[in-house]
Amino acid sequence: MRAAHLFLAQRISAIILAPLVLVHLGLIVYAMRGGLSAAEILARTQGSALWAAFYGLFVVAAAVHAAIGVRTMIAESFGWRGRMLDGLTLAVGLGLFGLGARAVAAVVL
């Protein structure tokens, strides 16, 4: 059942994202308030398996979650169905994953 699988993927990705988003926001505040420079941030993230895993998971969950959400909005607003809708879902998901993966690679590699 595809609708059921998409539904479950949407819920599970939301459960994963909720704590990650909070930690991410906390990190931003910490880095800005602490006045960390770009070099200091990179020194902590580069080569770190922990940050690679954290933001890697973040990117995957966000790509899955947003792609399914956009799919629903487009289907309900414009009546898209079938292959067009599947193609759009895949494009949004892969696009977001690509952008996110590039950003993660830039800070951890």
Partner 1 sequence: MDGTLRVRIWKGGADGALRTFEVPHRANQTVLDVVTWVQRNRDPALAYRFACRVGMCGSCAMTVNGVPRWTCRTHVSRVVRGDALTIEPLRNLPVIKDLACDMTPFFEKWQAAHGRFVPTAGRTDPPVRMAPDSPHRRAVDAGIECINCAVCHAACDVVAWNPDYLGPAALNRAWTLHNDIRDGARAARLRAVAGDGGCTNCHSHQACMQVCPKALNPTAAIAGLKRAVAGAVLRGRL
Contact residues: partner 1, CB under 8 A:
1-8, 11, 75-77
35 DSSP assignment: T
Shortest gap between Cβ of 42 and partner 1 (angstroms)? 40
Pick between residue 74 and residue 101 the one whose CB is nearest to partner 1: 74
Q: In the complex, what is the shortest distance from the CB of residue 4 to partner 1, in angstroms, rounded to a whole number? A: 4
Choose among 20, 19, 100, 16: nearest CA to 63: 100
CB closer to partner 1, 12 vs 25: 12
CB of 34 vs partner 1, minimal distance in Å: 40
Choose between 16 and 36: whose C-beta lies nearer to partner 1.
16
User: Which is nearer to partner 1, 51 or 80 (by Cβ)?
Assistant: 80
- CA angle at residue 34 from 28 to 37, to 5 degrees? 80
Minimum distance from residue 12 beta carbon to partner 1 (Å): 9
3-state secondary structure 38-105: HHHHHHHHCCCHHHHHHHHHHHHHHHHHHHHHHHHHHHHHHCCCHHHHHHHHHHHHHHHHHHHHHHHH
